[in-house]
Amino acid sequence: MKGRAPFSSRPRESTSSEEASSTSRSPPIFSFSRNLVSFSGKAMVEEKPTMHAVWYECYGGGAAGLKHVNIPVPAPKKDEVLVKLEAIGINPYDWKVQQGQLKPFLPRKFPMIPANDVTGEVVKVGPAVEKFKPGDKVVAVLNPMTGGGFAEFAIAKESQTVARPPEVSAPDGAGLPVAGLTALQALTQVAGLKLDGSGPLKNILVTAASGGVGHYTVQLAKLGNTHVTATCGARNVDFVKSLGADEVLDYRTPEGAALKSPSGKKYDFVIHCALGFPWSVFEPNLSARGKVIDLSAGLKTMMTYSLQKLTFSKKLLVPMVLSPKGKNLEILVKLVKEGKLKTFIDSKCPLSKVEDAWAKSISGCATGKIIVEP
Q: Are 304 and 317 in contact (CB under 8 A)?
A: yes
162 with 210, same domain: the answer is: no
- Does residue 296 carry a pLDDT above 90? no
Angle, CA 92 vertex, CA 89 and CA 96 arms, to 5°: 130
- Which CATH number characterizes residue 237's domain? 3.40.50.720
CA distance 20 to 16: 9
Contacts of 15 (CB under 8 A, 6+ apart): 33, 34, 35
Exposed, middle or buried, 38 (CB in 10 Å: 0-12/13-18/19+)?
A: exposed
Pairing of strands 161-163, 267-272: unpaired
CA distance 13 to 260: 65
Query: How many CB atoms lie under 10 A from the CB of residue 99?
Result: 15
158 with 190, same domain: the answer is: no
The whole domain housing 252 covers 179-319
Q: What mean pLDDT value characterizes the chain?
A: 90
168 with 21, same domain: the answer is: yes
pLDDT for res 44: 56
Contacts of 227 (CB under 8 A, 6+ apart): 201, 202, 203, 204, 246, 247, 263, 265
Question: How does pLDDT run across 306-324, given as a tens digit for each residue?
Answer: 888 888 899 999 999 999 9
- Which CATH number characterizes residue 27's domain? 3.90.180.10
Say which DSSP state 62 is in: G
Tell me which residue of 64, 59, 10, 133 sits closest to 356, measured CA to CA: 64
51 with 67, same domain: the answer is: yes
Question: How does pLDDT run across 187-199, given as a tens digit for each residue?
Answer: 999 999 999 999 9
Structural domain count, the chain: 2
* pTM for the whole structure: 0.87
Least confident of 14-18, 249-253, 258-262: 14-18
84 with 232, same domain: the answer is: no
pLDDT for res 45: 53
Least confident of 4-8, 81-85, 133-137, 182-186: 4-8
171 with 183, same domain: the answer is: no
3-class DSSP state for residue 81?
strand
41 with 154, same domain: the answer is: yes
223 with 268, same domain: the answer is: yes
95 with 108, same domain: the answer is: yes
Least confident of 5-19, 151-165, 248-262, 298-312: 5-19
